[in-house]
């Protein structure tokens, strides 16, 4: 059995004898997949249920003519489906031929059917159909390959920058998981806010890069156990600008979001943050969400210059800063979550000493 003879042929004619003649000719040539109907009203249902590769259609039938059938099949016989219709009719007039072809029929033969002509016409239509399927499969495969490769490159790009972000946290986070915890927490808060799945996924990947700019800050300032001088504090604040600059040329959605977060996660709801002094809704929502996730994680984990706060005290501090440091809506979403899961996300494997 060849690929063509295994393709599906739907025969539509109001005369059962005509159907049997056509089917016998095709069977003699090796075709095996047939469906026929005497009722043209059923053709749309049959096309949906059986998915034919070619339709052999009579023109003059009671009730619903072949022309009306062509009208109903308009979307199927045109691109992108390109379902071929071969008109098989006793009406050999030029007017009938021109009208049927103008309505989308691919070919036209007259009754009584010539066996050789029928087989040639059917074979040509099915061969074209088969090539179209092959081309579509190839295009689908190429599209999939391109999407997969693009996704791989995106993952590699984000992974590389996430490693850089981990380097920035290396000295003041002995588990080196602060950035990952912030990502998990930001995603949970975004979901609690009712954000769409795409945004939740993007902020999960983008927010770990919030402190990327710390790679440009001297360790002596990052790890200083006592308070910073005004000059040192100004230098520390520069990590926002450095991170935004590193990410500013990014073209991917995730890294553009990361640039936005890097530049705004230290802004405050009351306008007293840095670097731009944005306030309220002027602060991008990703920056507002990451601010809560970042501060809560920083409070609940030990650093060289501070002890870890207990979870209840840290959660209370987030609540106390609602409307001041943090967006009240983001805080409200944070309060719906289990803070213990934010401190030790189940998505992250526990870190054990070597």
Is 72 in a helix, a strand, or coil?
helix
What CA–CA distance (Å, rounded) separates 114 from 88? 11
pLDDT at 354 over 60: no
Q: What is the pLDDT of residue 154?
A: 79
Q: Shortest CA distance to 105 belongs to which of 51, 69, 62?
A: 69
Q: What is the pLDDT of residue 332?
A: 98
CB-based contact 207:284 (threshold 8 Å): no
Both structure tokens of 96: 């009938």
Kind plus residue range of the DSSP H or E element containing 240? helix 230-247
pLDDT band at 168 (very low <50, low <70, confident <90, very high): low
User: What is the DSSP track for 1-52?
Assistant: --TTTTSEEEEE-S-HHHHHHHHHHHHHTT--EEEEES-GGGHHHHHHHH--
What CA–CA distance (Å, rounded) separates 214 from 303? 15
Averaged pLDDT for residues 226-238: 89
Domains and CATH numbers, the chain: 8-141 (3.40.50.2300), 173-343 (1.10.3210.10)
Taking all residues of the chain, what is their mean pLDDT, rounded to a whole number?
A: 90
Both structure tokens of 221: 């300032």
CB-based contact 182:293 (threshold 8 Å): yes
> What does the DSSP 8-state code read for residue 177?
-
Torsion 9-15-16-18 (CA) sign? negative
Burial of 76 (0-12, 13-18, 19+ CB in 10 A): middle
Q: Residue count of the chain, please give it.
A: 354
* Per-residue pLDDT tens over the stretch 199-218: 999 999 999 999 989 888 88
What CA–CA distance (Å, rounded) separates 340 from 214? 27
> What does the DSSP 8-state code read for residue 80?
T
Burial of 25 (0-12, 13-18, 19+ CB in 10 A): middle
Averaged pLDDT for residues 302-318: 89
CB-based contact 214:169 (threshold 8 Å): yes
> What does the DSSP 8-state code read for residue 172?
G
* Per-residue pLDDT tens over the stretch 318-338: 999 999 999 999 999 999 999
What CA–CA distance (Å, rounded) separates 64 from 84? 19
Q: Shortest CA distance to 186 belongs to which of 334, 340, 350?
A: 334
pLDDT band at 352 (very low <50, low <70, confident <90, very high): very low
User: Which residues does residue 8 pair with via DSSP β-bridges, in sequence order?
Assistant: 33
Averaged pLDDT for residues 302-310: 82
Burial of 235 (0-12, 13-18, 19+ CB in 10 A): middle
pLDDT at 276 over 80: yes
What CA–CA distance (Å, rounded) separates 167 from 213? 11
- In the chain the first and final C-alpha atoms are separated, in Å, by 64
């Amino acid at each position: 059995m060849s690929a063509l003879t295994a393709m599906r042929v739907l025969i539509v004619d109001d005369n059962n004898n005509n159907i049997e003649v056509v089917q016998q000719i095709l069977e003699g040539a090796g075709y095996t997949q047939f469906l026929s109907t005497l009722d043209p009203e059923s053709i749309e249902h049959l096309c949906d249920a059986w998915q034919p590769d070619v339709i052999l259609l009579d023109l003059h039938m009671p009730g619903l003519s072949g022309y009306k059938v062509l009208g109903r099949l308009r979307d199927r016989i045109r691109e992108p489906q390109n379902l071929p219709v071969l008109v098989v009719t006793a009406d050999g007039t030029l007017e009938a031929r021109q009208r049927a072809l103008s309505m989308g029929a691919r070919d036209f033969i007259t009754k009584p059917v010539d066996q050789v002509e029928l087989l040639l016409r059917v074979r040509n239509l099915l061969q074209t159909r088969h090539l179209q399927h092959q081309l579509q499969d190839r295009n689908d495969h190429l599209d999939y390959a391109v999407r997969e490769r693009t996704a791989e490159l995106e993952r590699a790009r984000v992974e590389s920058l996430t490693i850089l972000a981990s380097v920035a946290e290396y000295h003041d986070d002995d588990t080196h998981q602060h950035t990952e915890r912030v990502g998990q927490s930001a995603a949970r808060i975004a979901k609690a806010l009712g954000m769409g799945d795409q945004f939740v996924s993007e902020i999960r990947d983008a927010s770990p890069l919030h402190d990327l700019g710390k790679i440009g800050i001297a360790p002596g300032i990052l790890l200083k156990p006592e308070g910073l001088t005004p000059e040192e504090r100004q230098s520390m604040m520069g990590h926002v600008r450095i991170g935004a600059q590193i990410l500013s040329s990014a073209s991917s959605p995730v890294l553009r979001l990361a640039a936005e977060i890097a530049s705004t996660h230290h802004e405050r709801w009351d306008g007293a943050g840095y670097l731009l002094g944005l306030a309220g809704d002027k602060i991008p929502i990703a920056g507002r969400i990451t601010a809560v996730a970042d501060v809560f994680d920083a409070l609940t984990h030990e650093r060289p210059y501070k002890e870890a706060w207990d979870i209840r005290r840290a959660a209370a501090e987030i609540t106390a800063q609602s409307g001041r440091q943090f967006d009240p809506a983001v805080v409200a979403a944070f309060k719906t979550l289990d803070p213990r899961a934010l401190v030790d996300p189940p998505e992250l494997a526990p870190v054990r000493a070597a």
